Each structure stands twice: as C-alpha cells, then as structure tokens.
C-alpha cells in the first residue's frame, strides 16, 4: 500500500490548518452563538476581548490530530482509487479515472476520516466557543483549561459516547462532500491541463481553492447542525437528536440558519485548500 499519500496528506493538511484557523474560530462562533452581528463584529470583539490569541483557541488538538485525519482522508482516497482503477497517483495523469470512481473514492475517504475527526473536532468546537480572555487575575475562569482537560471533562461528565457527540452529523456532512471535494479538484485540474501532463502550480492552487469552496457550500447546512450538536450537552441538553436540532433551529431562526458561517467559511476554504493541494501534489512529485 503506497504510504507516501498518507504522509503527504498529513503535512499538507497541517499547512492548511494553521492558515485557516482564525477564520474557523469566527465561523464556529457565528454558527453557535447568537450574540455577534456579523463577521466584522465577531472579529473585532474577539480581538478586543481576547486579543489575537483568541483566534487561535482550540488549535493545538487539530494540529496534533491532522496527522491522523488528513492522512486517512488522502491515503484512503488514493488507495481506494488504486483499487477501483488499478492506477497509481503518477499513472492517473495519463489515464484519468472516471468521475464516478473519483466520487466514490472521495466519499470513502470522507466517511473514514469523519470517525477519526469526531472527538478532535468536538474538543476544538468547545474550546473555540469559550469567550473568556486568557487567564488574568480576577477574570472569570473558562470552563475548560485546555484540550486535555476538555477531553477528560467530557469523558467524565458525558461518558465515552460524549466524545462522539455530533459524530453522526459530521459523517453525513463529510461523506458526500468529500466526493464533491475531489471531483471539483480533479475536474478543474483536468480541464486546464494539457493531456498527460502534470497540472501547473497555478492550476493546483485554483482547483484546490475551488474544491474547498464547492465542498463547503454543500457541507454548511450539516456543519451548522454538527456544531450545535457538539455544543449541546455542555450545560443541559436542548436537542433530542439531529433531526430535532434541525427542526428547532429552523423554527427559531428560519432557513437562513443553514447558511450560517458560509461567507467566512468560503473565504477560509480557498487559501486553506489551495495550500493543502499544492503541498500534497508537490510532496508526491518530489518523492515520486
């Protein structure tokens, strides 16, 4: 089994992650808290109240876990294509796989990575939603002191299953949309690359960027539900399940609730995924 894809997936994911985390924090706050009037208001208030560090809350765990998550995504995707089409990463330029195969391989990668991602994503969302400024004498203490404390508290208070809160919504969010992610990327690369050649850096950047945006547009409705389910159970349980969360969110806030965070997420998705795909492609070419 080719392991290069797993390692390339890990490094490229980490590069994208650091770049996108500040945007991600704003997105999560907009999706789960109703006190912000918009992106600018949220940014200004995070900066004033929590300083620049506020934007980087909850980042350490994703950095540690991206090794597993992105390497599973890219590794499973590439190896699934190998199974479906009997072509390696290099050979696929000359013999491009069908879109059906790309979609299926993407969905498989998305499905499997969702399970690895679920507990890490939950902890990230809980930490991102802590609005208290960094420890200053006399200031209110945040609920969780850090990622390990957060994980241990969830385990104690909500049981082992608590760590997988929102995992269903996350799996439903990622399975089809990872198919969309890879189809958009491969489709755009194919469109703008002469037969049999490797795509240029500019093509990879643009195709990666649009793959990020397209998949996030499709993923946003379930992303909102996922984030809300993850925050649920913290103090008291509001939702009886995913469907209940959807229905009561729409009842209270209208259909627009499904698009919360879409603008900031698209702005984040372009650079993050451009960098992710560029480093992935270059690492594989370098090793190949």
In the block, which residue shows the tokens 């994208």? 16
205 in contact with ligand M3L (CB under 6 A) = no
What span, in angstroms and rounded, lies between the C-alpha atoms of 111 and 73? 9
28 in contact with ligand M3L (CB under 6 A) = no
177 in contact with ligand M3L (CB under 6 A) = yes
Give min distance, CB of 183 to ligand M3L, in A: 12
272 in contact with ligand M3L (CB under 6 A) = yes
Q: Site map for ligand M3L, 208-227, x if CB under 6 A? A: ----x--xx--x--------
Contact status, residue 46 vs residue 29, Cβ threshold 8 Å: yes
What span, in angstroms and rounded, lies between the C-alpha atoms of 208 and 184? 8
Query: In terms of CB distance, is 23 or 142 closer to ligand M3L?
Result: 23
Query: In terms of CB distance, is 142 or 225 closer to ligand M3L?
Result: 225
The correct pick among 81, 269, 283, 284 for binding ligand M3L (CB under 6 A) is: 269
203 in contact with ligand M3L (CB under 6 A) = no
Q: How far is CA 185 from CA 112, 208, 277, in A?
A: 20, 6, 9
Give min distance, CB of 13 to ligand M3L, in A: 6
Query: In terms of CB distance, is 249 or 273 closer to ligand M3L?
Result: 273
Rg of the chain, C-alpha, whole Å = 19
Q: Which of helix, strand or coil describes residue 171?
A: helix
In the block, which residue shows the tokens 């699934």? 80
Query: In terms of CB distance, is 142 or 213 closer to ligand M3L?
Result: 213
How many helices and strands, by DSSP H and E, does the chain display? Answer: 10, 0
46 φ/ψ angles, rounded to the nearest 5 degrees: -65, -45
Q: Which stretch binds ligand M3L (CB under 6 A): 36-44, 55-63, 177-185, 253-261?
A: 177-185
What span, in angstroms and rounded, lies between the C-alpha atoms of 248 and 139? 34
Instruction: Give the count of alpha carbons within 13 A of 286, CB side only.
Output: 10
Query: In terms of CB distance, is 269 or 284 closer to ligand M3L?
Result: 269
Q: Site map for ligand M3L, 8-27, x if CB under 6 A? A: -----x--x-----------
Could you give the angle at which helices 99-128 and 147-162 cross, rounded to 10 degrees?
A: 120
- The residues that touch ligand M3L, with contacts defined as CB under 6 A, are 13, 16, 173-174, 177-178, 181, 212, 215-216, 219, 269, 272-273
């Amino acid at each position: 089994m080719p392991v290069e894809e797993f390692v390339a997936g890990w490094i490229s994911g980490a590069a994208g992650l650091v770049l996108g985390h500040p945007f991600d924090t704003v997105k999560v706050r907009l999706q789960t808290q109703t006190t912000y009037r918009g992106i600018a208001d949220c940014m200004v208030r995070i900066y004033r109240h929590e300083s620049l560090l506020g934007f980087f809350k909850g980042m350490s765990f994703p950095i540690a876990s991206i090794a597993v998550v992105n390497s599973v995504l890219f590794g499973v995707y590439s190896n699934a294509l190998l199974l479906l089409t009997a072509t390696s990463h290099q050979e696929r330029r000359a013999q491009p796989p069908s879109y059906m195969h790309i979609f299926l391989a993407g969905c498989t990668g998305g499905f499997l990575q969702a399970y690895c991602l679920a507990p890490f994503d939950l902890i990230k969302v809980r930490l991102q939603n802590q609005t208290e400024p960094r420890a200053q004498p006399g200031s209110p203490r945040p609920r969780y002191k850090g990622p390990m404390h957060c994980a241990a508290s969830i385990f104690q208070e909500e049981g082992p299953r608590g760590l997988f809160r929102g995992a269903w919504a996350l799996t439903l969010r990622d399975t089809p949309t990872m198919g969309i992610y890879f189809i958009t990327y491969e489709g755009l690369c194919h469109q703008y690359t002469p037969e049999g050649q490797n795509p240029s850096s500019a093509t990879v950047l643009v195709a990666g960027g649009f793959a990020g945006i397209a998949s996030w547009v499709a993923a946003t409705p379930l992303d909102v539900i996922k984030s809300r389910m993850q925050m649920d159970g913290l103090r008291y349980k509001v939702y009886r399940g995913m469907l209940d969360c959807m229905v009561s969110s729409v009842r209270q806030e209208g259909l627009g609730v499904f698009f919360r965070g879409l603008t900031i997420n698209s702005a984040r998705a372009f650079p993050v995924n451009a960098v992710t795909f560029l480093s992935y492609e270059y690492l594989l070419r370098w090793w190949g």
